[in-house]
Amino acid sequence: MSNQKEIRARISSTISTQQITKAMKLVSATKLRKASDAIVRMRPYALKLQGIMSNLQESADDDRLAVYFDEREIKKVCLVVISSDRGLCGAFNANVAKRTRQLLENEYKDLVKSGNVEILCIGKKAGETLKRLGYAVNTEYQNLLIDLNSDKAFDFTNSLINRFKSGSIDKIEVVYNQFKNAATQILSNETVLPIASKTEQSKQVSSDYLFEPSKVAILEDLIPRSLKTQVYRAMLDSLASEHGARMVAMDKATENAGELLGALRLAYNQARQAAITREISEIVGGVAALEGA
């Protein structure tokens, strides 16, 4: 009997867990729809902006613009690590922390030893993992993804741009999950500053444009705008990827709970049948004993 009680308790607990995972899947699906719409709308604008800037990049030799392309000696690096504030989304956060650790242990190994790598975490989870690994983490902006909007993202990026222009940091790199679809996230790390030079192929592209007020004046506004859009896009990508990863994880958890329920119900029926068989055997044995007396 005690075995049946234990199995009934596990069945009840599993049903409750399955209801929670179903609800979380539905919530994530709703949030994913909104987040994926946002990144789908943002990408064409961001790509077009980068394309325009690439065509105008030949004016970067102007002193007012050269600072954005200045590949100076790297003495201080800022890694912007974008993860989530909550777990239960599969390997989403673990992958971001793993890629960050790889960069720290390989590409920036010497700078880490000298304390010249700043890990700026947006979202709590990757920062918690990196702290456990012994890295110093800047959590000033870890709540930035809560009620994210373009103004908050642009202000954050503007502060990084000003630090780069002042020389307090020499390179800014973003680590995040790029959204492809609900089931697929592409782990990425991109250099924001300094801006990479034009490739030979892009240099061969010639465009005949008239500029007002001037090409340099346009780039003075366009370059910061493009950088802010690039970082904002990474945040939107990460948000959509998070909800997609959580939806898939909760779907799998719901499916696993269903399989476990099937196994528990089978075990319960077997235990119940065994108890019934034992009781019948005891009754038959008692009857036989009475008849023999």
Residues with a catalytic annotation lie at 89
Q: How many CB atoms lie within 10 A of CB 164?
A: 22
Check the CA dihedral 260-262-265-267 and report its sign: negative
- Per DSSP bridges, beta strands 117-122 and 77-82 are parallel
Rounded to the nearest 10 degrees, how much is the dihedral formed by the CA atoms of 162, 166, 168, 171? 70
What is the identity of the amino acid at 79? L
Rounded to 10 deg, the angle between the 215-292 and 2-56 helix axes is: 170
Burial (CB count within 10 angstroms: exposed 0-12, middle 13-18, buried 19+), residue 151: exposed
Q: Cβ neighbours of residue 36 under 8 Å, at least 6 residues apart?
A: 179, 182, 240, 243, 244
Q: Which residues of 177-211 are buried (b: 16+ CB within 10 A; e: fewer)?
A: bbbeebeebeebbbebbbbeebeeeeeeeeeeeee
- The answer to whether 241 and 163 have CB atoms below 8 angstroms apart is no
Through-space distance between the first and last CA atoms of the chain, rounded to whole angstroms: 31
For 56, phi and psi rounded to 5 degrees? -95, 0
Distance, in Å, from the CA atom of 37 to the CA atom of 25, rounded to the nearest integer, reads: 18
